[in-house]
Amino acid sequence: FPVTILRDKGEKNPYKITARFVRMELPTRNGMVNKLIDTEDSVRLYRPLYECLDEFIAVEMSVLSYICTQLRKHSDEVYLDAQDILNFLNRLKGGAPPLKPIRSRSYVYRGINMLVERGIIAKKEGKVYYINPNMLFRGSRVNYVTDIL
């Protein structure tokens, strides 16, 4: 069901949250509690990442955008292939070709290396990288931690 966002002084945000919400009864120490759960699938960017986004150059934002589309739910790994990233970046958007096609894999590798230097991703092996779940994550970090413990 849609939710209206109310601001101070009764002002209304013109946008409604249209995600699906589910009411669930969850156990607590004091019995069951009825809680509203957001079921929308999303990638969350955490404070350490969005505090440095204004320092990013285009290549970093490009690779980060690709990573956000490739993250699997509750996973800290992402597969980064330079050709796949180039294809993603050069995809037709809105029926028009990109203003300046990107043809260089070195552009992509530069973006990956810059994200490594910033501590957003770390090389695992081959084309697989760890993502820093303190920066971004898809799904519940609580479920992720529970699964690996």
| pLDDT tens per residue, range 108-118 | 999 999 999 99
Q: What percent of the chain is predicted at pLDDT more than 70?
A: 68
Nearest to 76 by CA among 43, 49, 52: 43
d(CA 141, CA 133): 8
pLDDT at 27 > cutoff 80: no
* pLDDT tens digit sequence for 58-99: 889 889 989 999 998 888 899 999 999 988 888 755 445 555
Token pair listed for 21:
């919400």
Report strand pairing: 121-125 vs 128-131: antiparallel
